[in-house]
Amino acid sequence: MKTLLFFLLIAATALVFRTHGIIAASVLFMFGGYLITPWSAMKGQLCVTLTPTEILALQIKSFKKRVPVLQMMGTDFTGMSLRYNQNAIARIRTLGTASTYSANSGGYKNGAQSGRGLLTDVPLVLDQWVTYPILLEHINHIQDAINDYTGVVGDGGYIIGKGMVDYILGLVSSARFSQGQTIATADFDVDGLIAVNKSMNAVTEANDRFMIVNSDVASTLAADQRLINSQWFGEKQGGEPIRVWRNAYGFREIREYVDLPAGTTPALTGVTCTDTGDIFTKTAHGLVTGQRVTAASFSAGFSNSGKLYVIKVSADTFQLASSLANAVAGTALTVSADGTGGVVTGAENMCAFAFEQRAFAVHGGAPAPVTTELAAQFGIPVSTLVDAMYDSETQIAMGQARWQEPGTADLYICPTMIYGAKVGRNVGTAAGSGLDYAGHIIRTA
C-alpha cells in the first residue's frame, strides 16, 4: 500500500511540475511524503530533518570542542539524572608520596596508598541550571534543509559551554586564591611567564599548568621574539583568531580569552564608617571576606589609597584589613572617626590566571526526567520530555527538553545542563586550604 501511494505521489508531483512549476511540485512532494509516512516511523522525532539523538550529539560536540578552556579545568560531566540545588561531590586528583622498598614491611606493599585516597572529595552544590531554547516552526522546518539547522542546534552547546566558563572564571578572586602577583601589561612577556612559574613552584608542584590571559597580555606575548617562532606560535596559530602557545616556559598551554573578567566590581557608594568597632556600613553590600577592594572619599575617619581586603561582618556591615592574611585572621584597620560618603570598589584587576586543573572542581550533567514532583516544584509542563545522552569520547552528559506547543505543530528544543563549581579555597579560610595553591592571579595593579 505504501509503495502504491509513493508512486502516485511521484506521478502527481510530475504533473504539478509541468503545469505549475518546480516550487509547487516541491511543496506537494514534501507534504505528500510527510502524510504517507507512518506515525511509527515519525514518533520520537523533533522534526522532519533532525532527531533528538542527532541534536544532542551536535550540542555535546560543540560544548567541548568549541570551548577548549573547559578542557583545562577539573571537570566531571558524567551525571545523568541531576537535580537543581542538589548537593554533590566532585573528585580531583592529588599527589601521593613515594615509599622505600622494605622486605620486612611487605616488600612492594610498603607504604601502599589507596587509589581512592588519592582522589580528594570536593563538596559543591549544583546551583546552576542553564538552557538554550530553540523554536522550530513547523512550516519553516519543512521548507529548510537539514544543513540549515546543523549549525543552529550545535551553537546551543557552544553557548552553554561558554556561559559555564564565564561563570566559573567570575568566581576567581583573592577571596578564593591567596597566591598572586602584579605585572604591568607592557611587561608581561616571557620574563613574566618565568616569574609566575617560579612563584607557583614555591608552593606546589604539578605536571600540567595552564594560563588564561586577556587580549592585551596576549598582544604583549605575541610581540616577544622568544615566542615568535614555529615551535610555539607560527605553525600552531595558523589562521585562528585566538592566540595560543603550547608547551612554553612551564605552561602546557597559554590561551587568550577575550572575556577574561577583571574582577573589578561596581562601586558601592554612600558607605559610612564608624570608630565604634571599626565598622563600615552599606545595605546589602555583597562583599565577602578576602575580597580585594579600594576605599576612598570618606568625609572623615578613614583614608587609605592602597589595596585593602574585606572582613565580612554581616550582610550590611564589614571591616577592612591591610592584607589578605589579616582579613582571614579578622585583624581590621582602625577607623578614627565617624564618616560618610565613602566609595568602596572591587579591585582584583586580573589580567591573567595561571592554574592547575585542580584549581576548579566542576560537576554537572543532564537533569532528571520530569516527574509530577519536579513539574510542581519548578513549573515544568508534565508533557515535557527530557532526553539525556552520555558521550564516551568527550565524557559529557547533556540533557534536552522538548515539547510541542499546544494547538500547533511548532516544536521547542532546549539543550540543558545542571552543574555546580568549586573554585579555590572556601571563602574566609586560611591560605593553602582546599584548592587554593592550584591557582595564581596576575594583576595589572
Domain ranges of the chain: 2-42, 50-94+116-202+350-424+435-445, 268-347
Q: Give the pLDDT confidence score for residue 39 in this predicted structure.
A: 39
| Closest of 384, 421, 423 to residue 130, by C-alpha | 421
pLDDT of 291-314, one tens digit each?
Answer: 999 999 999 999 998 999 999 999
CA distance 203 to 305: 30
pLDDT surpasses 90 at 406: no
Q: Give the pLDDT confidence score for residue 96 in this predicted structure.
A: 61
pLDDT surpasses 60 at 395: yes
CA distance 50 to 147: 10
Do the Cβ atoms of 351 and 445 come closer than 8 Å? no
Residue 181 C-alpha from the chain's centroid: 24
pLDDT surpasses 50 at 40: no
Q: Which helix (H) or strand (E) holds 76?
A: strand 74-82
Q: Give the pLDDT confidence score for residue 388 in this predicted structure.
A: 79
Give the residue with greater pLDDT, 231 vs 407: 407
pLDDT surpasses 90 at 342: yes
Do the Cβ atoms of 232 and 248 come closer than 8 Å? yes
pLDDT surpasses 70 at 26: no
Tell me the pLDDT band of 322, cut-offs 50, 70 and 90.
very high
Least confident of 7-16, 213-222, 369-378: 7-16
pLDDT surpasses 90 at 386: no
Q: Give the pLDDT confidence score for residue 46 in this predicted structure.
A: 39
Average pLDDT, rounded, for the chain? 80
Give the rounded percent of residues in the chain with a pLDDT score beyond 70: 74
Tell me the pLDDT band of 56, cut-offs 50, 70 and 90.
confident
CATH fold of 268-347 reads Elongation Factor Tu (Ef-tu); domain 3 (2.40.30)
Tell me the pLDDT band of 229, cut-offs 50, 70 and 90.
low
CA distance 196 to 250: 9
pLDDT of 70-117, one tens digit each?
Answer: 878 877 777 778 888 888 877 766 656 677 767 777 767 676 766 655
Strands 317-321 and 251-256: unpaired
pLDDT of 176-185, one tens digit each?
Answer: 999 999 999 9
Q: What's the whole-number mean pLDDT along residues 349-373?
A: 86
CA dihedral 119, 121, 126, 127 (to 10 degrees): -120
Q: Give the pLDDT confidence score for residue 434 in this predicted structure.
A: 84
The CA-based angle 154-160-164, given to 5 degrees, is 150
Give the residue with greater pLDDT, 220 vs 365: 220
Q: Give the pLDDT confidence score for residue 274 in this predicted structure.
A: 96
Do the Cβ atoms of 190 and 249 come closer than 8 Å? yes
Q: Give the pLDDT confidence score for residue 53 in this predicted structure.
A: 67
CA distance 113 to 204: 20
pLDDT surpasses 50 at 44: no
SS (H, E, C) 130-197: EECCEEECHHHHHHCCHHHHHHHHHHHHHHHHHHHHHHHHCCCCCCCCCCEEECCHHHCCHHHHHHHH
Q: Give the pLDDT confidence score for residue 296 in this predicted structure.
A: 95
**3-state secondary structure (DSSP) of residue 37:** coil
Q: What's the whole-number mean pLDDT along residues 279-286?
A: 96
pLDDT of 128-179, one tens digit each?
Answer: 988 888 776 654 544 444 455 566 667 778 888 888 889 999 999 999 999 9
What's the one-letter identity of residue 165? V
SS (H, E, C) 100-139: CCEHHHCECCCCCCCCHHHEEEEEEEECEEEECCEEECHH
